[in-house]
Copies of this chain bind each other. A is one copy, B any other.
Amino acid sequence: MTLLKNDLLLRALRNEKVERPPVWMMRQAGRYLPDYIKLREKYDFFTRVQTPALATEITLQPVDQIGVDAAIIFSDILVIPQAMGLTVLLEENKGPVLPKTIISKADVDALITEGVEESLSYVMQALSLTKSALNGRVPLIGFAGAPWTIFCYMIEGKGSKTWEKAKQFAYTQTALTHELLQKITTITIAYLKAQVKAGADTLQVFDSWSGALSPADFKVLAQPYLLQIADALKEDAPVILFPKGSWYALKDLSNSSASGLGIDWCVSPEMARELTGNKITLQGNFDPAKLLAPIPEIKKSVIEMINSFGAQKYIANLGHGITPNIPVDHARAFVDAVKEYSI
């Protein structure tokens, strides 16, 4: 194993002292980068995801071009429904579509939960290839969608503002809901373990739609499965849970086996620290839209953000994925401001 030259991210996740906070950006390998757009013009989305050489090239772009402190493997949370036997289509600039959704017990019974290391072998190959190419420059992050979020897509078949079809399913077919959430959890744990074996240094679990749930429903439909994943992985690699919008869960999740919690921009750093009792490493939470502000304003806001979180037990990041319309030099200003921060 190559020794990491920059292990700021891992040290922050282990609550070790750092000279400055590590920084990366959700969707840092994405549509705001001209070199990514060039590849997108040549290869469709799942070709990019399923071709290890392409996934590696895309994963490295922000490391080389923006100078982030971590690489996150280029992939998609919806490879899990695919591995479970469902079709997922993705038209460029549109949301994903699952032509056949889960309706009945027979649909749930038919789902595959084994062999993910083989069915998603292209992810493992991309991780290994990226790990070699990084040559210890920065840590490599693996990831998966959280069970509730994957459940949402499996029931609705596409994105939704309210996820009310998924909620209706959960409210009316309780036992089947938990059977499905458990199946997703089981395969996700195997998938994340395989990612660590293939080279991931740390893992992030994206609960992109948990914020649609009330605090009471979150405790039933999202939290148990997030905790199960964090518990199962605790000997493998540090896990960052990102329950977007679910600020109300921060307290409970700070008592979990997770090493870090991602937070969106709708929580003040002070409140996030208060809710988590300063016990756990926090990651976030710059409003991606604020990257459209003038560069001096971005840099000023980054410093305020770090000052508010404190430089320890902290990973600078956005509160959600970077959007396609962000100028590259604004993204770089964000990263630079963190790197220039002196304690």
Binding site for B on A (CB under 8 A): 162-164, 167-168, 171-172, 211, 213-217, 245-248, 265-268, 271, 285, 287-290, 292-294, 297, 304, 319, 323, 325
Contact = CB atoms under 8 A, between A and B. Distances in A.
A290 B171 contact: yes
Nearest to A275: B271
Nearest to A217: B287
Given A164-B292, A214-B287, A289-B167, A248 B271 contact: yes
13 contacts: A162-B288, A167-B287, A168-B292, A168-B293, A171-B289, A213-B266, A213-B287, A214-B265, A216-B304, A217-B287, A247-B247, A248-B266, A248-B268
Contact of A293 (B162, B172, B211): B172
Nearest to A245: B266
Contacts of A168: 289, 292-293
Given A294-B171, A297-B171, A325 B164 contact: yes
Given A162-B323, A167-B290, A246-B266, 20 more contacts: A162-B289, A163-B289, A164-B288, A164-B289, A164-B323, A167-B292, A168-B292, A168-B293, A171-B289, A171-B290, A171-B292, A172-B293, A211-B266, A214-B265, A214-B266, A215-B267, A215-B271, A216-B268, A245-B266, A248-B268
A214 B216 CA distance: 24
Shortest beta-carbon contacts, A-B, top 4:
A171-B293, A168-B292, A164-B289, A167-B289
A247 B264 CA distance: 13
B248 A267 contact: yes
A265 B215 CA distance: 8
A290 B215 CA distance: 13
B172 A292 contact: yes
Contacts of A215: 266-268, 271
